[in-house]
Structure 1
Amino acid sequence: MDAHEIREGLTESNARRAMLTACVSAGLPQLPDAELLRLGENALFALPEAGVVVRVARSTEMADKVAKELAVASWLAGHGFPSVHPTDAPQPIEAHGRLVTFWEYVPNGSPATSVTILARLLRDLHALPDPDFPLPDLDPFPIMRRRLETASGIRREDAGFLAEACDEAEDAFRVLVASSSRHMVHGDAHRGNVLMDDDRPLLIDYEAVAVGPRAWDLVPTAIAVDRFDLPPADYAEFVRVYGTDVTEWYGYQVLRTTRELGMMTWLMQIAQSGPAADEFALRMESLRKGDLERRWHAL
């Protein structure tokens, strides 16, 4: 990977290059026009003809995280939990400074529309025994700080504000986590990480799986009422199905603040122009004003 690619981070162009090279190594067809499903912390490409989704991680520095994802996926499959499985291809494969993995493709898969589906999956996930292999402690701050250190194309004062906000939030988060019961959590539990295989929901994306308070998995849906216009009645049904209202927990606000900072530093990576830049500006204004009910828009 050349110096220019290192500076620009993960883009559709360099992710596609890594995907094509890795497909050759894995004995899969090269499809230069493969559909890009998602570009964020990773890039996902669909190869329907091969029944495979190719996942390109940002760098080889994510080796431990990639190995964890593969281990968690295999463990969930062993427990019969509805999840996506890695393929039998040798993996991960290093290509152009990225780590590439291969996952089963779900034909006609679509995101879940109901938070009730997510509530059932989380209830069942949290009922599983803790895995018999080590998982990292829940700690979203290192990745937020890495994003801030490599931020480009946004205002310096915005990056500075977020860095200070992380400093202020971190101590309270660590105290809360240290004093809470800790178990395996998905780490990024929202409707976008539930894929419908016909009528069967699958919990996907194991990048953020960690050991922490289970409340962490409930916070995104609670936030959605204030931030993303989730109807209160839908949230009430989520609570009924899962069995707990995280907003009534004393640690909710600490987790919400941390979660929102994570969402902001993720968005920051793609906020150089267009709708993402407009949304980033809107969210920054709400954070500066301490406005907890300002509507955000999903991207």
Structure 2
Amino acid sequence: MEAEEQHFLRKSYGWDNSTSFTLIQEGENKTYKVCSSSGNWVLRKYRRNRFDASQIKAELALISTLRPHFPTPSILKNQDGELLTLDVQGSVEQIYAVFQFIKGNTLHLPTAKDYRKLGFLMRRLHDVADQVQKKVAEDWPGWSRPLYDTVTLIEKPLQRLISASFLTEEDRACCIKTAKHIKGQLEQLGLGKRQFVHGDFHFGNILVTHDRWVCLDFDECGWGPRSFDIGTVRLHMRAADHLTKMWPFFSQGYGKKLSEEEIRLGTALRIFYMSGKIPIRQDIEMVRREPAERSYMRFINEEITG
């Protein structure tokens, strides 16, 4: 991190000159561990041109509203009392947020018991969100989070994919065929009730401490079908070749019964949505090196064909 950026952040949060910034993760956003005299924090530097300031304010408002009822890190306000910090240099806008640092680990080799607990935690998040949204006002910032509808889940991802220079004509034809198939199923089943979804709920975004599991990374959260959240877990299970073995345990933990057709469609939509992000994430080395769109299309086919 450049010295000028560090100076801006120290001034914004009232940190002294001894405060250090260490990069700990780079992907959709950059994440830094901040060590200051006032404590340790996690700084998120949001990926530019992904979400605007109003949508990120909505994300932070959602986390703050959920936190009294569900385990999420607290958010540190800046010197102006704001949850979001904005640095504007000419036409370039950079957005930051700072979260409580929590000592813990992520699970790299989850067991059946872990998958059951993950299902329980997702169900708890969904139930808490249902109760919270009944109580908030119409002008609550959280309502500004993205809507996962047909345009977001199918049409925009398809346009990105067929415009991607690294895809072959055969790949593009496969993407078009898959989108058509999913859209046809969607027209038959519908998206169901639009409710709060975390948008990226998996073990990589769960921090395990000595006494609890804490849910992280709400920057994909929005409003859509609950099967979209469940689809994130199924995608990770498929990628790890754990679906057959572990799905029953997650399903048992989640508890609430959704139809198999609804779950499979939600999973297909989740995977297609993720495929559409590949062309706009080519600045991330891992994505550029292993685009994964072919395996994604295979996963979708396995879901929609049963």
Does 2:14 correspond to 1:24? no
Number of the residue aligned with 2:75 = 86
**Structure 1 residues 168-177 or 214-223, which shifts more?**
168-177
Deviation at 1:161, TM superposition (A): 6.1
Deviation at 1:178, TM superposition (A): 5.3
Matching of residues 23-172 of structure 1 within 5 Å: 23-29=10-16, 34-49=21-36, 50-59=39-48, 62-79=52-69, 81-89=70-78, 90-95=82-87, 96=89, 97-107=93-103, 109-112=104-107, 113=110, 114-128=114-128, 129-131=131-133, 132=136, 133=140, 135=143, 136=145, 137-139=147-149, 141-142=151-152, 145=156, 155=166, 157=168, 164=176, 168=180, 171-172=183-184
**Contact residue 22 and residue 94 of structure 1 kept, 8 A:** no
Helix, strand or coil: the match of 1:78?
A: coil
Number of the residue aligned with 2:294 = 285
* Alignment partners' CA distance in 2, 1:73 and 1:183: 15
In structure 1, stretches of 5+ residues that fail to align are 1-12, 294-299
Does 2:220 correspond to 1:208? yes
Query: Normalization by structure 2: what TM-score?
Result: 0.72
Does 2:240 correspond to 1:228? yes
Cα 1:291–1:105 shift into 2, 3 Å: closer
* Alignment partners' CA distance in 1, 2:12 and 2:41: 14
**Structure 1 residues 155-164 or 37-46, which shifts more?**
155-164
**Contact residue 186 and residue 265 of structure 2 kept, 8 A:** no
Cα 1:43–1:143 shift into 2, 3 Å: farther
Cα 1:111–1:267 shift into 2, 3 Å: farther
* Alignment partners' CA distance in 1, 2:189 and 2:268: 14
Number of the residue aligned with 1:199 = 211
**Structure 1 residues 192-201 or 136-145, which shifts more?**
136-145
User: What is the total number of aligned residue pairs between the two structures?
Assistant: 276
Helix, strand or coil: the match of 2:207?
A: strand
Deviations 1:226-260 (CA, angstroms, capped at 9, x unpaired): 322226333221111111465x5223333222211
**Contact residue 44 and residue 56 of structure 1 kept, 8 A:** yes
Q: CA RMSD in A?
A: 3.9
Cα 1:167–1:68 shift into 2, 3 Å: same
Cα 1:92–1:125 shift into 2, 3 Å: same
- 1:255 pairs, out of 256, 262, 266, with 266
In structure 2, stretches of 5+ residues that fail to align are none
**Structure 1 residues 269-278 or 53-62, which shifts more?**
269-278
Deviation at 1:104, TM superposition (A): 0.7
Query: Normalization by structure 1: what TM-score?
Result: 0.73
* Alignment partners' CA distance in 1, 2:7 and 2:182: 40
- AA partner of residue 59 (structure 1): R
* Alignment partners' CA distance in 2, 1:197 and 1:290: 33
Helix, strand or coil: the match of 2:295?
A: helix
Number of the residue aligned with 2:275 = 264
- AA partner of residue 110 (structure 1): N
